[in-house]
């Protein structure tokens, strides 16, 4: 009888994290959540930080849970959100908790950087969309501020790489997480030396390059002692959570767009080569690294962050998010829209007031209740999805016939139906835990259990429940879209 191989996925999002145990049995993926925990942003003084030590401690707790259950792990893999990084000193110690990408210290950092290297040249080199929190601009802001951690750093490690370093002692730079930084040249697969020289850095300040599926190292003796496990390999998966999520899209042909729907909505297509031209620059699309040398050509859209921030303020709304979603449908349709990516929604003191202010500025009815605000958010997201898909059609070398949606946003069946109605194509949802599944399947590939991403996706499709939403109400959504375009530039 063949021994079952078990893999542990560490899947860290911008609000919460989880450890998940996975295995392949009888041609299907089996998974079970081991632990779940919060990942709050810490505000201290004028800055916002991630608690990297708390995240490490939660990973160790997950490993202990596996050991207590006498599970023999084949490997461990870690995926996280993008762009953020940790500074490591010459003595190997972490120098400080890392800044969160929502920290305001990058305000104006892009414009300051473009005084050294023009914006057009930065995009031509990287093909990455411009967002003020991209790693390049974080580093530029830190350099300009004389940041002590950066000045003392021997190595700069992206968050999943830093956590692998804490587990193994190996300093690496994984391809997909590096691709979020605006420092990677997708043609060479390496950091662009000119871009980092402008912030006083050299390539050797980063870890050795690794690709998804490579073994980074094994659990250190200290971690083995703490957890009761042996020298379990730690595998570089697609370290960027969107890379792992897209690896889990259960598509059987290329004629689709994908939407990773969570705190952020990441909407794009999968191509073999980066798409870098005047139009992609003008519309601020990004080219991020995927598994097996693919490129994720996509646009970042603010997602459930809008709703979650509002829920923290509402005192009269149900605690259960599914009830909030249902109650939103009792509000009038197509009353008010927002541009989800307006800068005013990045990290306001009050998201509810930010939405009301946007509606006032654009001459629309102001949402007065939580139901009206939630419906405004959902309809605006669905219309933004249509706007981006219509633009993607001009870039895709294939027809976009379906939208595959993965992630926690798939639980919101009202939003999923709105997306189908707005875009006018079938929306297929699942898996929910796409990032963890992609993480597990890359570990299974590293262990020799699957051959390539097409086999991975076939197994995933056979292992999960999927739902399909068919488009309806075309005329009503067409009218709403014409209004939406007046307040939401691409």
Q: Show which residues are catalytic.
A: 241
Q: How many CB atoms lie within 10 A of CB 476?
A: 12
- Per the CB < 8 A criterion, the answer to whether 306 and 344 are in contact is no
Residues 17 and 38: their CA atoms lie apart, in Å, by 6
Start-end of H helices in 50-113: 52-68, 109-113
What's the rounded Cα separation, in Å, for the pair 129 and 299?
A: 8
Cβ neighbors of 44 (< 8 A, separation 6 or more) are: none
Rg, the chain, Cα only: 22
| Helix boundaries (H) for 273-320 | 278-282, 305-313
Which tokens sit at 437? 């599944």
Q: Measure the CA–CA gap between 237 and 234, rounded to whole angstroms.
A: 9
Non-local (6+) Cβ contacts of 195 within 8 A are 117, 122, 125, 126, 136, 182, 183
Q: How far apart are CA 253 and CA 150, in angstroms?
A: 45
Q: How far apart are CA 479 and CA 490, in angstroms?
A: 18
Which pairs with CB-CB distance under 8 Å and at least 24 residues apart come from 89-92? 89/152, 89/153, 89/154, 90/152, 90/154, 92/169
Length of the chain: 490
């Amino acid at each position: 009888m063949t021994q079952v191989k078990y893999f542990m996925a560490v899947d860290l999002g911008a609000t919460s994290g989880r450890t998940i145990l996975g295995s392949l049995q009888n041609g299907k993926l089996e998974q079970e959540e081991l632990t779940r925990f919060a990942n709050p942003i810490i505000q201290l003084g004028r800055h916002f930080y991630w608690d990297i030590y708390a995240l490490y401690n939660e990973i160790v707790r997950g490993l202990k849970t596996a050991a207590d259950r006498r599970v023999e792990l084949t490997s461990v893999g870690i995926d996280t959100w993008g762009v953020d990084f940790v500074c490591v000193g010459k003595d190997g110690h972490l120098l400080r908790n890392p800044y969160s990408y929502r920290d305001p210290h990058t305000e104006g950092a892009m414009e300051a950087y473009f005084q050294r290297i023009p914006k057009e040249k930065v995009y031509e080199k990287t093909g990455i969309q411009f967002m003020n929190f991209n790693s390049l601009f974080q580093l530029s802001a830190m350099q300009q501020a004389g940041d002590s951690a950066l000045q003392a750093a021997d190595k700069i490690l992206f968050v999943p790489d830093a956590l692998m370093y804490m587990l193994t002692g190996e300093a690496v730079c994984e391809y997909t997480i590096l691709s979020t930084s605006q420092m990677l040249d997708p043609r060479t697969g390496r950091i662009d030396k000119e871009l980092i020289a402008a912030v006083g850095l050299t390539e050797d300040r980063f870890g050795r390059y690794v690709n998804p599926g490579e073994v980074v190292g094994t659990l250190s003796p200290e971690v083995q002692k703490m957890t009761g496990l042996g020298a379990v390999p730690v595998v570089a998966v697609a370290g960027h959570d969107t890379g792992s999520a897209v690896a889990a899209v259960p598509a059987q042909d290329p004629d689709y767009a994908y939407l990773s729907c969570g705190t952020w909505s990441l909407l794009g297509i999968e191509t073999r080569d980066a798409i870098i031209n005047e139009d992609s620059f003008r519309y601020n699309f990004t080219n991020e690294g995927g598994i097996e040398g693919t490129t994720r050509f996509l646009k970042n859209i603010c997602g459930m962050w809008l709703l979650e921030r509002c829920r923290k303020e509402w005192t009269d709304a149900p605690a259960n998010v599914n009830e909030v979603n249902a109650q939103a449908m009792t509000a009038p349709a197509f009353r008010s829209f927002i541009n989800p990516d307006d800068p005013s929604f990045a990290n306001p003191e009050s998201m509810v007031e930010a939405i009301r202010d946007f509606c006032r500025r654009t001459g629309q009815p102001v949402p007065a209740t939580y139901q009206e605000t939630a419906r405004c958010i959902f309809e605006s997201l669905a219309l933004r999805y249509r706007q981006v898909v219509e633009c993607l059609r001009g870039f895709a070398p294939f027809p976009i016939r379906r939208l595959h949606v993965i992630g926690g946003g798939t639980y919101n069946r009202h939003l999923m139906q709105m997306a189908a109605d707005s875009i006018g194509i079938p929306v297929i949802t699942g898996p929910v835990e796409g990032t963890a599944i992609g993480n597990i399947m890359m570990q299974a590939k590293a262990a020799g259990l699957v051959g390539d991403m097409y086999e991975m996706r076939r197994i995933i499709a056979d292992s999960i429940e999927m739902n399909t939403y068919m488009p309806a109400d075309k005329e009503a959504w067409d009218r709403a879209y014409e209004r939406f375009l007046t307040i939401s530039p691409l």
